Amino acid sequence: MAVVPIHSPIAHSATPVKLKIYTRRDIDRIPELQGLTHEQRHLMKAVSAVLPFRVNDYVLENLIDWSNIPDDPMFQLTFPQPGMLQDGHLERMLDLVKRNVSHGEIQAAAREIQSGLNPHPAGQLELNVPTLDARPLEGMQHKYRETVLFFPAAGQTCHAYCTYCFRWAQFVGIDELRFAARQADALFRYVQEHPEVRSVLFTGGDPLVMKTKVLRKYIERLLDPSLEHLESIRIGTKAPAYWPHRFVADEDSDDLLRLFDEVVESGRNLALMAHFSHPRELETPVAREAIRRVRSAGGVVRCQAPLIAHVNDSADVWAEMWRSQVRLGAVPYYMFVERDTGAREYFAVSLARALDVFNGAYRQVSGLERTVRGPSMSATPGKVLVDGVAEVHGEKVFALKFLQGRDPAWAGQVFFARYDPHASWLDHLKPAFGQDEFFFEEELRAIRARHRRQLD
């Protein structure tokens, strides 16, 4: 195990910076919101009673252009917007807020609305939960053969919340909707018993809200020589965008970088799956220093985000973001399609528009930026790429391709759907050429049946 010497670029002596968090109950006390009307703040409270709200002073002071409210993309990304709720739901919640009813009454109304927002899309509860000793493993998912997702209990919040977040159900206080694991031993045993697993992804929430000593308890077990089949450890995080001080000036920043170095020294890849949604998140000196420090510890920074209306639905924005990432030594990885959950109606972009944005950005960049894949839907059967639009035998179609599949044999397979300019998710599409169903649907039904038998 490597010990990072004091002269290493990992070593740092920055004065620790304190994180200040604001939540729904602080809306009237956020200094930057004092210029808004009472009605505007009431609307924020109404929406944030249903969908989670959390922001910090770094985002407030460094990322939002307060002269461009409400249209500023970073404001849209972090603050509740009226359009995030359907009109009837918004009116109901706004009435409760204005009447200052009890917390219990507001929560009861919110629960009714939340239940209709598809809190766990793409079969996460139904199909993704693995078993050990014939018992479901809470806080873990195993959708694709090579990769296991782990949700450490102490990492199930974030430095700030994205308004579009498809994991919003983790943060609204409903235990039965929440993925969370407390035992590192179960993760170790599961990976040990499944030699097909080559990568573990720590996710949340954001695992990097945890102190390094807590994160270390999980990661160190995975460095055991008996897990020689484990090739990479990934950490899904928004910290480089929302709290880059985590890598630079937190009291245990150096310890975190040393942990990354230990993973690399063990012969494994350490990848930070960084969620950058807008190029502004890459502009601050501390964000750039954060990326530099992760790379100095041997980590790879891979960048991904969904295409989101009101935030980044512009080819120029994506091209600028990919170029900035490559300049900083990071790797453009994925453009996702906004998932079918939460406030999706407000943030969704049609597949046809998503393809136009992707191609428009792709044409503006060089080969180094073209490592990115997209637009990609993380749907129930797998990751499905919208590869293009074509006319085949006189029919206009979407050309689709599996990047990952529940059945590994689906990966790389191309299939076609009837062109629909309004479709924004796989479930909206119909098979082309008169087919009754897509090629994978029969096998997907069999997979569902097998999972039901395992859980019975």
Closest listed residue to residue 292, CA positions, set 327, 238, 328: 328
Question: Does pTM surpass 0.85?
Answer: yes
Indicate whether 110 and 128 sit together in one domain. Answer: no
Integer CA distances (angstroms), 314 to 73, 282, 320, 354, in order? 11, 17, 10, 9
pLDDT of residue 192: 96
Indicate whether 284 and 154 sit together in one domain. Answer: yes
Q: 3-state DSSP call for residue 292?
A: helix
Q: Contact at 8 Å (CB) between 325 and 335?
A: no
Closest listed residue to residue 371, CA positions, set 338, 325, 408: 325
Residue 84 inside a domain? The answer is: yes
Q: Contact at 8 Å (CB) between 10 and 258?
A: yes
Pairing mode of beta strands 54-56, 21-23:
antiparallel
Q: Contact at 8 Å (CB) between 399 and 416?
A: yes
Indicate whether 185 and 268 sit together in one domain. Answer: yes
pLDDT at 1 over 80: no
Cα(first)–Cα(last) distance of the chain, in Å?
Answer: 44
Residue 131 inside a domain? The answer is: yes
CA dihedral angle for residue 345, residue 166, residue 126, residue 141, rounded to 10 degrees:
160
Residues 6+ apart with CB under 8 A from 334: 304, 305, 372, 373, 374, 376
SS3 of 419-441: the string is CCCCCCCHHHCCECCCCCCCCCH
pLDDT band at 124, cuts 50/70/90?
A: low
End-of-domain residue from the set 76, 98, 115: 115
Indicate whether 189 and 274 sit together in one domain. Answer: yes
Indicate whether 187 and 50 sit together in one domain. Answer: no
Indicate whether 147 and 263 sit together in one domain. Answer: yes
**CATH code of the domain containing 220:** 3.20.20.70
Residue 2 inside a domain? The answer is: no
Specify the range with the lowest mean pLDDT, choosing from 7-11, 178-182, 414-418. Answer: 7-11
pLDDT of residue 123: 63
Angle at the Cα of 137 (from 148 to 456), degrees rounded to 5? 120
Residue 390 inside a domain? The answer is: no
Taking residue 38's Cβ as centre, other Cβ atoms within 10 Å add up to 9
pLDDT of residue 177: 65
H or E, element range at 344:
helix 344-347
Integer CA distances (angstroms), 403 to 21, 234, 275, 357, in order? 38, 18, 20, 20
Mean pLDDT of 117-129: 74
Whole-number Å distance between alpha carbons of 19 and 417: 48
Indicate whether 81 and 170 sit together in one domain. Answer: no
Residue 425 inside a domain? The answer is: no
Indicate whether 54 and 108 sit together in one domain. Answer: yes
Whole-number Å distance between alpha carbons of 378 and 128: 13
Whole-number Å distance between alpha carbons of 307 and 315: 10
Mean pLDDT of 74-90: 96
pLDDT of residue 286: 97
* Per-residue pLDDT tens over the stretch 356-398: 999 999 999 999 999 999 999 999 999 999 999 999 999 999 9
Q: Contact at 8 Å (CB) between 101 and 113?
A: no
For the chain, what is the domain count? 2
Whole-number Å distance between alpha carbons of 275 and 231: 22
Indicate whether 151 and 173 sit together in one domain. Answer: yes
End-of-domain residue from the set 313, 331, 349: 331
Whole-number Å distance between alpha carbons of 25 and 45: 8
* Per-residue pLDDT tens over the stretch 421-445: 999 999 999 999 999 999 999 999 9
Residue 255 inside a domain? The answer is: yes
Mean pLDDT of 185-211: 95
Indicate whether 59 and 193 sit together in one domain. Answer: no
* Per-residue pLDDT tens over the stretch 261-316: 999 999 999 999 999 999 999 999 999 999 999 999 999 999 999 999 999 999 99
Indicate whether 191 and 164 sit together in one domain. Answer: yes
Residue 52 inside a domain? The answer is: yes
pLDDT of residue 171: 82
Residue 282 inside a domain? The answer is: yes
Indicate whether 93 and 136 sit together in one domain. Answer: no
Taking residue 432's Cβ as centre, other Cβ atoms within 10 Å add up to 21
* Residue whose token pair is 């077990």: 221
Integer CA distances (angstroms), 221 to 183, 184, 192, 194, 246, in order? 11, 7, 11, 15, 23
For 181, which DSSP code? Answer: B
Expressed as residue numbers, the domain containing 162 is: 124-331
Concatenated DSSP letters of 440-453? THHHHHHHHHHHHH
pLDDT at 408 over 80: yes
End-of-domain residue from the set 276, 300, 331: 331
Closest listed residue to residue 444, CA positions, set 380, 376, 383, 385: 380
